[in-house]
Amino acid sequence: MSEPKTHSGSCHCGNVRYEATLALGQVVACNCSICNRVGHLLAFVPVEQFRLLSGEDSLVDYRFNAKKIAHLFCSTCGIHPFGRGKGPDGKETYAVNVRCLDGVDPRTLEVMHYDGKSI
């Protein structure tokens, strides 16, 4: 497990920029109906470890099913830089798409395959 570090991230066009403090040990690939299509790799952080620097107005909040998770994407470039929801403990949690973090090579990360499709 790597040490927690503050990473900067963005969507493709740069409207949405953020910082997240996390350890990039293991990331999650989920096969649920949306994650499978988006193809992102996720790392989860509590709200205190996430800072949106710009682009709140550019984010489209897509919800389905129970509508509890905000599947956010940029209205200009369509990239999903992160999502928002509540963790099992009820606390606000951010799901960071590590593919959107600067200088992070997803090939170097350990991927945990989560079976969201069956839940």
Q: How far is the CB of 70 from Zn ion (least distance, A)?
A: 16
Q: Is 35 in the site for Zn ion (CB under 5 A)?
A: no
Q: How far is the CB of 58 from Zn ion (least distance, A)?
A: 6
Distance, in Å, from the CA atom of 55 to the CA atom of 47, rounded to the nearest integer, reads 17
Residue 81 zone, left/alpha/beta (φ > 0; ψ -120 to 50; rest)? alpha
Sign of CA dihedral 5, 6, 9, 14: negative
Q: Is 52 in the site for Zn ion (CB under 5 A)?
A: no
Give the residue carrying structure tokens 């107005």.
57
Q: How far is the CB of 37 from Zn ion (least distance, A)?
A: 18
- Contact string (CB under 5 A) for Zn ion, positions 71-100, x = contact: ---x-xx-----------------------
- Burial class of residue 85 in the structure, from the number of CB atoms within 10 Å of its CB (0-12 exposed, 13-18 middle, 19+ buried): middle
Would you say 49 or 76 has its CB closer to Zn ion?
76
**Where do contacts with Zn ion occur on this chain (CB under 5 A)?**
11, 13, 15, 74, 76-77
